[in-house]
Amino acid sequence: MKLRSITATEASEFLTELRAMSLLPPGQDEAALTRARDICALLQAQQHGGRTVAQAADRAYRTLEILLSRRRWKQEAPSMEALRKQIKDACDQLRVTVESVLRV
C-alpha cells in the first residue's frame, strides 16, 4: 500500500477493517497480516501523528499478529475471547489516537 495522506473518513474505514480482523479464525493468515501491516503503516505515516499513533498502531498490529500466526495464539493467548478483546481494545485506542490527530 502506498503511503499517502488520508482523510478522517478513510482512516475510519481502515480502522473498522483492522478491528474486524479480530473475528478472523486463529492461525496463519499471511494475507490478513500483510493488510494489517499496510493499514498500520499508512496510519503511522500521517503527519502530526508522532509517537502516539506509532505506538498505538504497533500495539494493534502486535495483538493481531498473535491471532494470525501459526502457533503464537496457542502459546500467548490466555483465551480466544481475551485475545479478541485485546485486539479490539488496541484498535479502539488506535482509533481515538488517529481521530485526534486528523482533527488537527
Per-residue pLDDT tens for 74-86?
A: 788 788 999 999 9
Q: Is residue 3 part of a domain?
A: no
Under the banding of pLDDT at 50, 70 and 90, the label for residue 38 is very high
pLDDT at res. 103: 74
How many Å apart are CA 32 and CA 49, to the nearest integer? 24
Under the banding of pLDDT at 50, 70 and 90, the label for residue 47 is low
How many Å apart are CA 92 and CA 26, to the nearest integer? 20
pTM of the model: 0.86
Residue 87 in grid coordinates: 485486539
Which has more confidence, 51 or 93? 93
Q: Is residue 37 part of a domain?
A: yes
What is the four-CA torsion angle of 39, 101, 22, 18, rounded to 10 degrees?
-30
Q: Is residue 16 part of a domain?
A: yes
Q: Is residue 39 part of a domain?
A: yes
Under the banding of pLDDT at 50, 70 and 90, the label for residue 21 is very high
Please state the domain count of the chain: 1
Q: Is residue 89 part of a domain?
A: yes
Q: Is residue 1 part of a domain?
A: no
Q: Is residue 32 part of a domain?
A: yes
Q: Is residue 2 part of a domain?
A: no
Q: What residue numbers bound the domain in which 84 lies?
A: 8-102
